[in-house]
Amino acid sequence: MDIVLKIWRQKDQDSTGKLETYTLEEVNPDMSFLEMLDTLNHNLVKQGERAIEFDHDCREGICGQCGMMIDGIAHGPLKHTTTCQLHMRSFCDGQTIQIEPFRAEAFPVIRDLKVDRSAFDRIIASGGYVSVDTGQAPEANSIPIAHHDAEAAFDAAVCIGCGACVASCKNASASLFTAAKISQMTRLPQGREEAGTRVTRMVRQMESEDFGHCTNTEACEVECPQAISVLHIARMNYEYNRAGIFFNKA
Amino acid sequence: MSRILEVRIPDGPLPEKWSNYKAKARLVSPNNRKKLDVIVVGTGLAGASAAASLAEMGYNVKSFCFQDSPRRAHSVAAQGGVNASKNYRNDGDNVFRFFYDTIKGGDFRSREANVYRLAECSASLIDQAVAQGVPFAREYGGYLRNRSFGGVQVSRTFYARGQTGQQLLLGAYQALMRQVSAKKVTLYARHEMLDLVVIDGRARGIIARNLDTGQTERHAAHAVVLATGGFGKIYYLSTLAMGCNASAIWRAHKKGAFMANPSWTQIHPTCLPQSGAYQSKLTLMSESLRNDGRIWVPLQHDDTRAPGAIPEEERDYYLERKYPSFGNLAPRDIASRAAKEQIDAGKGVGPLKNAVYLDFSKAIGEYGKSTITERYGNLFTMYKKITGIDAYREPMKISPAAHFSMGGLWVDYDLMTSVPGLFAIGEANFSDHGANRLGANSLLQACVDGYFVLPYTLQNYLADEIRTPRFDPDSTPFIEVERAVKAQLQQFTDCRGSKTADEFHRELGRELYDKCGLLRSGEGLRNAIRNIRELREAFRHDLLVPGHTDEVNSELEKAGRVADYMEIAELMCIDALHREESCGAHFREEYQTAEGEARRDDERFCYSAAWQWTGNPSEPVLHKEPLVFETITPTVRSYK
C-alpha cells in the first residue's frame, strides 16, 4: 500500500514547528507503525536528511516510551494499543496519516515527535511508593492479600506511564496516571499507614505541574493502552478528601 | 589460577560462604557515607535496586539511563516470573535444590559460590517486593501463588500475570524515585554513558552524553556500577528493546575490564517468527506459556494444512517425545535447538516455514478459557495485536530469537570487575547463569545483585575510600577521555558515507545468527571473523550519519552502538571458536553425541574465559578462571 504522511517537524523546544508531507510506497500491512517510520527514516537518511526523531524502546507495548498523536488520536486508531503495537493493516492504501507529538503544556517538545514526560517521574517521586527500605521487609506470606484485592490493585498497577491519558484529555489532565498509582496502593495493605500523606503529596505535585484539571470527560480511559478505568480517579478524589479530613497534617 | 583473576571466594562450606563474607566485610560508618559518591549506570532491576538501596544507606548516588524515564528500562518487558526457593508449595524445594538446578541448567559452567548466594538470597527478594506493593498472583486464601518454569521439577516461580518484570521494575523504580525525592539520588535520564574514566588504576567516573542536547558531560565518583543489561541486540533481530546496547560494558572493557564468555547468548525458544525484511525486533512470548501450551510440528514435511485440520496422530509433539521427564518445560537452549532441528528438517510452519506451533487447546479444554486468560491474558492479547490471530482458537506460531547474554563483564565474588572500583551487576556481568540461563532467574539475579549483594560488597570496597577526596571532573584525566569521546562522535558525522548504521547492524546480525547463533562450527566461525573484519572496515569508511553531534540525533546514537558491536562480534566469534566443546547455549556442531546432544569437555574447558583488550580487536588475551566444584559433581546434563 502507498501512504501519505504529514509529520510534525520541530527542531527544538524554542523553534516553531510545522507539518511536513512525505510519501511512502509499498508499505507492507504487516509492518508495525514504528517500522513504517523506520522505513521512512531510512529513506530520509539515505538522502542525507535528518531522521524524524520519535521515542520508542521495547516495541512490545510495555515500556511506555512510544506515543504520538495519529490522526488526532493518542497511539492511533486501534483501541487500547500503544503506537508500537499498531500495525499498518489498520490503515488503507492511499490514506493520508497525520502524525504529531503528544500535545500538552506539561510535555514540552524536545524534537519532532519526542516530548519530555519527566513530570510523571516527579509525581511518582512525590509519594508513589511504599516507604520500605531494603532489608525491612517482613516474610512475604505474613501479608495475605485476598485474590480479588490483588487483582484489583493489578488493574491499576498495569499503567505504563506513556502519557496517552494526558494527550487525549482536552484539559491535559494527569488524573488517570496519578490515580492509577494511588488506587493500586490503596487496595493493598502495604503502605496503608502513609496513604493520607501519599495522596495529598501526589495530588499537590500533579497540580504544581502544567497539567489541567479533570472534568470527567473519560477520554483518557478510552485511549489508555492498558484500559485503566476512570473509577480510579473517583477513588483518588475520595482518598484525597478523606486525607483532608483525617490526616490534615499531611 | 591466574593471579590476574582474583575471584576472592570466601572460606568455609558453600552454605556458609556468604554469611562468612558478611560477617567479615568492612563497613563505612553512617556519617562517612555521605562523603562518598557512587555512579550507577542503568535503571533496570539491577541498577534501580542498587541505586535505591545505596541511597537508603546514605551514599550519594548519580543514576543514569538512556531512556526518558528510569521506569522504561528493559527489565520492564520480562513476562513470566521470578524464582525463589520459598518452598510454599511443599514440593521439596530448598536452597540447595535451587542452586543445583541453576548450576545444572547452566551446564556446569558457572561459579558455585555465586550461584549458591543467588539461591540463598532469593527468598528475601520476594519479601522485599511484596513489601513494596508488587501485586504478585495470589491464591483465594490470600497467600502467594507459584507456577513452574523450564528446567525444574518444583514450582518456585512467583509471577504477576504476564508482567512480572514490569511490576518488579516499578517497585524498584518507585524506591529509586523515593530517594530522588529525598535528594540522595540525582537522576540523569536521557543520558548515555560513552566512556569510563580510570585514574591510577581505579574507576573514578564516566563521560556521558545528554541525548537531549548532544552535550558530553564529565561525572566523578568514588566507584562506578554498571547495570546496563545484555547485548543480544547485537544480532539486530532480538527480543531486546531497540536501545539496549553494549557500549557501556564494551568501553569499560577497553579500559581494562575483562569480558567473560561473550559468545554465550541465550536464543529464546518462544518468540514470534520473522515476517519480513523491514522487521525491527522479534517479540518474546513468555516461556511460562510452555506450562500449558504444547509444542508440535506436523509429522509430514511441507504440510500446508491449517493446524486444526491436522489430526492428532499426524502431529509430532517433539519435546514431549524426546524429553519425556521435562517435556514442554525442557530448558531454553534445548527447546530452541530442537525447534531449529524441526524447522531445518522442513517441518516448520507459517508462510516462511520458520516456526513451530504452541498449542493451548488441551489446556483450554481442561481448565477453561477463563483460567487461561487469567494466567496469560495479556500475552494472548499481544499475540493478536501483532499477528491478527486469536490464539484461543488456533495455536500460536513461535520461533527462536536472541534473548539473553549469559556472558558479560568478568566479576569476582564481590561483583567487581578487573578494574578496581568498577562493579558490574545484573545481566551486564557474567557470573551466575553459566552457559544457559534458566527461565525466571534473570529478574532474580538482577534484583539479588542490586538489593542484597552490591550494598555489602560495594561498601566493603568503599571502606578504603573514606579518605579519598572527591575527584575533580574538570581535571586532566576527565578532559582527555571526554576529548576522545567527542572525537569519535565527530568522526561518525564527518564520515558521510553511503550506508546507515542500521544497514551495517542488520548485516552484522545476519552473520552472527548464521555462524555464532544456535549452531556454531570452526569453519563457520573462522569465516565469520573474516567477514566481520571486512564489515568493520567498511563501517569506518562508509557510514552515513546526517546531522550534528550537538543536538538530538538518534542516528548518531545508533552509530556509536554499532561501532562497538563491530568489535564485540569478533570477540564473540573468537570466544566461540576457542571453546572446542558444546555446553548449554554454545553448541559446536563438531562436538555432539550420537543422539545430537551437547558434548561437554570438562578436561579442557571447565573454566570461564575472561578476555583482555589489547588495543587490537583481533588479538584479545585469554585468561582462564578454572571452575572448581567442591560441593557438586558435574554430570552429563540430561532432561530425558
Task: Work out the widest C-alpha separation in chain B, in whole angstroms.
Answer: 75
Strand order in the sheet with A96-100: A18-24, A3-9, A96-100, A69-70, A73-74
**Whether residues A79 and A125 fall in one domain:** no
User: Mean per-residue pLDDT for B95-121?
Assistant: 97
Is A75's pLDDT higher than 80? yes
Question: Does residue A141 have a pLDDT over 80?
Answer: yes
A89, A162: one domain: no
- Taking the Cβ of residue A60 and every Cβ of chain B, the question of whether any pair is shorter than 8 Å is answered with yes
- Tell me the per-residue pLDDT of B435-452, one tens digit each, with 9 for 90 and over: 999 989 999 999 999 999
Residue in B25, B24, B62 with CA at minimum distance from that of residue B40: B62
CATH number of the domain within which B337 lies: 3.90.700.10
Q: Which of B325, B378, B317, B439 is nearest to B163 (CA)?
A: B378
Confidence of residue A250 (pLDDT cuts 50, 70, 90): very low
Reported as a single tens digit per residue, the pLDDT across B264-316 is 999 999 999 998 888 999 998 888 899 899 999 999 999 999 999 999 999 99
The domain boundary, picked from B401, B430, B461, lies at B401
Nearest to A130 among B132, B161, B163 (CB): B132
In-domain check, residue B313: yes
Residue B376 confidence class, pLDDT cut points 50, 70, 90: confident
Confidence check: pLDDT of B173 > 90: yes
Q: Please indicate, yes or no, whether residues A133 and A87 belong to a single structural domain of this protein.
A: no
On whether any CB of chain B is under 8 Å from the CB of A194, the answer is no
Residue B49, all three cell numbers: 535496586
Mean model confidence pLDDT for chain A: 96
**Both A90 and A166 in a single domain?**
no
- pLDDT for B2 equals 46
What does R_g of chain B's alpha carbons equal in angstroms? Answer: 24
The answer to whether A201 faces chain B, any CB pair under 8 Å, is no
Bridge partners (DSSP) of residue B192 are B209
List of residues 6+ apart from B521 with CB closer than 8 A:
B515, B588, B589, B590
| Same domain as B511, residue B397 | no
Give A247 or B130, the one with higher predicted confidence: B130
The one-letter code for the residue type at A186 is T
Q: What is the CATH number of the domain that holds B548?
A: 1.20.58.100
Mean pLDDT within B551-565: 98
Q: Do A128 and A239 share a domain, yes or no?
A: yes
Residue with cell 578476555: B611
Three-class SS state of B221: coil
A192-219: pLDDT as tens digits: 899 999 999 999 999 999 999 999 999 9
Q: What is the pLDDT of residues B485-537, one digit of tens each?
A: 999 999 999 999 999 999 999 999 999 999 999 999 999 999 999 999 999 99
CA distance A209 to A154: 27
Domain count, chain B: 2
Do A90 and A52 share a structural domain? yes
Same structural domain, A143 and A240: yes
Flag whether B295 is in a domain.
yes
Do A240 and A128 sit in the same domain of this protein? yes
User: Do A60 and A29 reside in the same domain of the chain?
Assistant: yes
Nearest CB to B283 within list A60, A120, A157: A60
Closest CA of chain B from A216, distance in Å = 27
Task: List, in sequence order, the alpha helices (H) in B308-403.
Answer: 318-322, 332-342, 361-367, 369-387
For residues A133-161, average pLDDT: 95
Report DSSP letters for B555-604, one per residue.
HHHHHHHHHHHHHHHHHHHHHHHH--S-BTTB-BTTSB-TTS-B---HHH
A143 — contact with chain B (CB < 8 Å)? Answer: yes
Q: How many residues does the structure list for chain B?
A: 640
Residue B1 has pLDDT above 50, yes or no: no
Long-range contacts of A63-66 (CB under 8 A, 24+ apart): A63/A160, A63/B67, A63/B71, A63/B72, A63/B73, A63/B74, A63/B76, A63/B77, A63/B241, A64/A160, A64/A161, A64/A162, A64/A163, A64/B69, A64/B71, A64/B72, A65/A162, A65/B67, A65/B68, A65/B69, A65/B72, A66/A34, A66/A162
**Per-residue pLDDT at A249:** 52
Q: What is the ipTM of this complex?
A: 0.98
The boundaries of the domain holding residue A151 are 118-246
For chain A, how many structural domains are there in total?
2
In single-letter form, the type of residue at position B391 comes to A
Best A37, A47, A53, A58 member to test B by mutation, with max B CBs in 10 Å, is: A58
Residues B71, A62: C-beta atoms closer than 8 Å: no
Each residue's pLDDT tens digit, B42-82: 999 999 999 999 999 999 999 999 999 999 999 999 988 99
| Same-domain pairing of A31 and A148 | no
Which of residues B152 and B582 earns the better pLDDT score? B582
What CATH number is given to the structural domain containing A224? Answer: 1.10.1060.10
A22 vs chain B: nearest CA distance in angstroms?
18
Q: B177: distance to nearest CA of chain A, Å?
A: 5
C-alpha to C-alpha distance for B488 and B163, rounded to whole angstroms: 39
Using the Cβ of A227 and the Cβ atoms of chain B, whether some distance falls under 8 Å is answered with no
Given phi > 0 = left and psi -120 to 50 = alpha, else beta, which region is B288? alpha
pLDDT value at position A167?
98
| Contact call for residues B573 and B528 (beta carbons, < 8 A) | yes
What is the rounded CA–CA span in Å between residue B520 and residue B510? 14
User: Considering chain B, what is the average pLDDT of its residues?
Assistant: 95
Domain assignment present for B583 = yes
A222-247 average pLDDT score: 94
Q: Which residue has the cell 531522521?
A: A51
Instruction: Check pLDDT > 60 for residue B36.
Output: yes
Domain closes at, from A87, A111, A135: A111
Residue B216 φ then ψ, to 5°: -90, 150
CB contact under 8 A, B70 and A89: no
Mark which of B401, B417, B442 sits at the end of a domain.
B401
The enclosing domain of A103 has a CATH number of 3.10.20.30
Among the partner-chain residues B177, B278, B382, the one whose CB lies closest to the CB of A121 is: B177
Q: Give B-chain residues touching A120 at CB under 8 angstroms.
A: 69
**Residues of B assigned a catalytic role:** 332
Domain assignment present for B551? yes
Q: Inter-chain contact A59–B242, Cβ cutoff 8 Å?
A: yes
> B375: closest CA among B448, B486, B452, B292?
B292
- Do A147 and A234 have their domain in common? yes
Q: What does pTM read for this prediction? A: 0.96
Q: CB burial class (10 A; 0-12, 13-18, 19+) of residue B594? A: exposed
Inter-residue contact A169 to A102 (CB < 8 Å): no
Search chain B and give the residue with CA nearest A117: B68
Write out residues 80-99 of A within 8 Å (CB-CB) of B.
81, 85, 87, 89
Q: Do A51 and B281 touch (CB under 8 A)?
A: no
Residue numbers of the domain that contains B376? 268-401
Q: Which residues of A touch B131 (CB under 8 A)?
A: 130, 132, 136-138, 143, 190
Q: Best interface-test mutation with B: which of A134, A159, A208 has the largest number of B CBs within 10 A?
A: A134
Please say which residue of A93, A111, A129 terminates a domain: A111
Residue B301: inside a domain:
yes
Clarify whether residues A192 and A235 are in a common domain: yes
* B230 inside domain: no
Do B492 and B378 sit in the same domain of this protein?
no
Task: For residue B77, give the nearest of A11, A58, A124 by CB distance.
Answer: A58
Q: A144 vs B243: CB contact, 8 Å cut-off?
A: no
**Whole-number pLDDT of residue B3:** 57
Burial of B353 (0-12, 13-18, 19+ CB in 10 A): middle
Query: Which of B66, B173, B181 is the best residue to mutate to test the A interface, defined by the most A CB atoms within 10 Å of its own CB?
Result: B181
Distances (CA, A) of B445 to A139, A162, B199, B280, B578: 20, 28, 30, 28, 28
Instruction: Determine which helix (DSSP H) or strand (DSSP E) holds B610, and give its type and residue range.
Output: strand B607-612
